[in-house]
A = this chain, B = another copy of it.
Amino acid sequence: MAHLLTGSERAAALLGLPHWSECPPPQDAISRQLSFRTFPDAFAFMTKVALIAERMEHHPDWRNVYTRVEITLSTHDFNGLTQRDIRLAHAIDQAATDALS
C-alpha cells in the first residue's frame, strides 16, 4: 500500500536519484530535466517512458520543448511523493541511460 514518504524514506530515496531535484513547496514532487541531440531522440525517449508509465500505471507530468524534456513526478492520489514516484524515477533513469549512452 502506497503512502506519502516519511522524511527518512525521502532522504534515502533521493540519495539514489542524483539526477532528480525536489520541486519548491508547496509542490511535493521531484523533477528531472534531460536534453537530447534531436527532437526524434527526445520523442523516442518519451515513447519509451510512456510505455513504462502505462505498464506501471503511474504517469508523469512532463513537458517537451524541441530537444528538452522536463519530467515531474508526484502521486496525485496522495498529493505528494510516494514509492510509486521513486520506482518510476529509477525506470526513467534507466531509459535515459540507454537513450543518452
Contact = CB atoms under 8 A, between A and B. Distances in A.
A54 interface: yes
B54 A40 contact: yes
A50 B43 contact: yes
A64 interface: yes
B61 A62 contact: no
Contacts of A47: 43, 47
Contacts of A59: 39, 65-66
A53 interface: yes
Contacts of A50: 39, 43
Interface of A: 39-40, 43, 46-47, 50, 53-54, 59-66
